[in-house]
Homo-oligomer: A and B are copies of this chain.
Amino acid sequence: MISTKEMKLETAPGFQIVDITRKAEDELSNTGLNSGILVLFVPGATGALTTIEYESGLIQDLKDLFQKIIPEGLNYNHDRKWHDGNGHSHLRASLIGPSLSIPFSKGNLLLGTWQQIIFIDFDPPARSRKIILQFMGE
């Protein structure tokens, strides 16, 4: 059985890291599926998905890391050409990637105890975002 859902998010301005674990678990419960795969996907080029232990120290460390390896405010070719000031957002999103696959069993996502699913909105402005959740299983 396949069930395709859309999760909608309103993000605040600036680099946002949002814990979407609870919403994903709720959507899994709604499907009634027992075991299978959840594929999460960001339909956009400036957002990404990964997992992390969601606590404020690491959230800040992750922001610092991106500012170090792909700084905002460099003179990116994308920004010179399109003037939307988010060249860094695109590069960061391509590096982390738009998709994440998580197995579930007995109706639960098989995440670690200290592991949360995060959506990262790398775009500077506040955005209305959606994330696709596709459940495939039995």
Contacts and interface: CB of A to CB of B under 8 A. Distances in A.
Interface string A55-98: 11110111011000110000011111110000100110111111
Contacts of A29: none
A20 interface: no
Copies of this polypeptide in the complex: 3
A82 B94 CA distance: 30
A77 B60 contact: yes
18 contacts: A36-B134, A39-B101, A43-B111, A45-B53, A45-B115, A51-B94, A52-B93, A53-B90, A57-B78, A61-B77, A61-B90, A61-B91, A62-B94, A65-B70, A65-B91, A94-B96, A94-B118, A98-B115
Given A55-B82, A57-B80, A94-B96, 20 more contacts: A37-B37, A37-B134, A37-B136, A39-B102, A41-B103, A45-B51, A50-B94, A50-B98, A52-B93, A53-B90, A55-B81, A57-B78, A61-B77, A62-B91, A65-B91, A69-B69, A95-B95, A96-B97, A97-B100, A99-B101
The list of the 6 closest CB pairs from A to B, nearest first, reads A57-B77, A103-B134, A44-B112, A57-B78, A57-B81, A43-B112
Interface of A: 2, 4, 35-37, 39, 41-45, 50-53, 55-58, 60-62, 64-65, 69-70, 76-82, 87, 90-91, 93-103, 105, 110-112, 114-115, 118, 132, 134, 136-138
